[in-house]
Amino acid sequence: MRRVLPTIVFTQFAGTSLWFAGNAVLPELQQDFNLQQGALPLVTSSVQLGFILGTLCFAILSLADRVSPRVLFMVCAVAGAGANALLVLLPGNLATLLVLRVATGFLLAGVYPVGMKIAAGWYSSNLGKAIGYLVGALVLGTAFPHLLRALGTELPWQTMLLTISLLAAAGGIFMFLLVPDGPYLRKGATFDAGNMLQVFRVKEFRAAALGYFGHMWELYTFWAFVPVILAYSLPDLTTTQISFYSFCIIAAGAVGCVVGGYLSQWFGSARVAFVQLLLSGICCVAAILVLQAGAAIIILPFLLFWGIVVAGDSPQFSALNARTAPPHLVGTALTVVVSIGFALTIISIQLTDMLLNYSPLPVVFGLLAIGPALGLLALRRLARQ
């Protein structure tokens, strides 16, 4: 059915726009809620923490393999939109903000990995290309609040959050109404708390998962600190310009996802993931020099390229995880791997924030290369195959 992939892409974009909604309006929240300047890592990590708790819960219960993924996606997207919108209605303070961001992250566990499960039910041989579009939509959804901030500088932050919530809720409803169960959707697993450990018994799955973990060490830390990087390396930029360039840099990852999806048809998902992870690791090291150049004509193209390759390998890792997992546990496998990957992002984000107090920013972001380096070591055997 021709409408299936565009619908999945739109709904993934709509649902994941909830992710950085708090980051996009953080300056206004800092003012209205009397937040400290160091609120960025707290707000970002609270979403990651909620997502980890959600994916762990879904993985232990094997929800993505026991419940209709369309229903699960719709319920979580609509509920996540509600949690995001409650920030407008409840008393404004740091505790409320963090609790609601944790709740939003928890419910996103039923959007991102479940969306991949739905795609895997529709596409088999072209899974790498399909998930390329899907994760490309996730990247655009993640970047969207920054664009909304740049274009709507006069809009109240309440209006922006409610707009994002309406978009996410609409995405969940469209998924349920327009995307039936796919022909490759496997019969669901019965409940067994050991399912989430069973998937790691497959050697190829372990290799793909470890590569993904190295990729995640870098990805969300880079995304979360893009505005900080821009403010440091190009101090003359206005707030609106920082928001716009942040959108462009993060959204550039969609290009890497889609192009990588097509390249995977010729070279295979493992090789495409390996090359993009290698390039993003090189960008980490190069950042030590480039971010001190002081010239927009050098720094902005570099950050755009980094944005392309830092996210471009993500769909291929997801495709590898889906292909190498036990067929009846694909949903559980994707969920538990994503859960561990996002746990690593919290460590990486908090560690980066701490190191920025002691070392220059370019040096700190150069250290992110540790993740890609370890991921490449794990992935090399799959890439050779």
Please write the tens of the pLDDT for every residue from 43-56. 878 888 998 898 88
Most confident segment among 63-67, 114-118, 310-314, 341-345: 310-314
* Average pLDDT for the chain: 86
193 has a pLDDT exceeding 70: no
122, 112, 60, 96: CA torsion to nearest 10: -160
Give whole-number Cα distances, 333 to 105, 188, 200, 209, 329, in Å: 19, 13, 8, 9, 6
Q: Give residue 384's pLDDT band: very low, low, confident or very high (50, 70, 90).
A: confident
pLDDT tens for each residue of 33-42: 777 766 767 8
- Three-state secondary structure string covering the chain: CCCHHHHHHHHHHHHHCCCCHHHHCHHHHHHHCCCCCCHHHHHHHHHHHHHHHHHHHHHHHCHHHHCCHHHHHHHHHHHHHHHHHHHHHCCCCHHHHHHHHHHHHHHHCCCHHHHHHHHHHHCCCCHHHHHHHHHHHHHHHHHHHHHHHHHCCCCCHHHHHHHHHHHHHHHHHHHHHHCCCCCCCCCCCCCCCCHHHHHHHCHHHHHHHHHHHHHHHHHHHHHHHHHHHHHHHCCCCCHHHHHHHHHHHHHHHHHHHHHHHHHHHHHCHHHHHHHHHHHHHHHHHHHHHHCCCCCHHHHHHHHHHHHHHHHHCHHHHHHHHHHHCCHHHHHHHHHHHHHHHHHHHHHHHHHHHHHCCCCCHHHHHHHHHHHHHHHHHHHHHHHHC
CATH 2.20.25.570 fits 4-180+192-384, yes or no: no
Give whole-number Cα distances, 219 to 53, 93, 222, 229, 372, in Å: 20, 29, 5, 14, 10
Q: What share of the chain has pLDDT > 70, as a percent?
A: 91
pLDDT tens for each residue of 167-183: 999 999 999 998 887 77
Long-range contacts of 33-37 (CB under 8 A, 24+ apart): 33/92, 33/93, 33/94, 33/97, 34/93, 35/94, 35/97
Selection from 42, 20, 16 nearest residue 99 by Cα: 42
239-267 vs 269-290: helix axis angle to the nearest 10? 150
Measured CA to CA, the distance from residue 375 to residue 98 in angstroms comes to 31
Neighbours of 237 (CB within 10 A): 17
Q: What's the pLDDT score for residue 141?
A: 83
Structural domain boundaries in the chain: 4-180+192-384
Q: Give residue 315's pLDDT band: very low, low, confident or very high (50, 70, 90).
A: confident
Measured CA to CA, the distance from residue 181 to residue 69 in angstroms comes to 8
Measured CA to CA, the distance from residue 137 to residue 103 in angstroms comes to 22
Count of residues making up the chain: 385
Report whether 262 contacts 288 (CB < 8 A). no
Entry pTM: 0.80
Selection from 141, 206, 145, 194 nearest residue 171 by Cα: 141
Average pLDDT over residues 240-267: 91
194 has a pLDDT exceeding 70: no
| 373 half-sphere exposure, CB direction, 13 A CA radius | 9
Selection from 345, 342, 139 nearest residue 259 by Cα: 139
State the distance between the two ends of the chain, measured CA to CA, in whole angstroms. Answer: 33
Measured CA to CA, the distance from residue 233 to residue 246 in angstroms comes to 13
Read off the tokens for 137: 């939509």
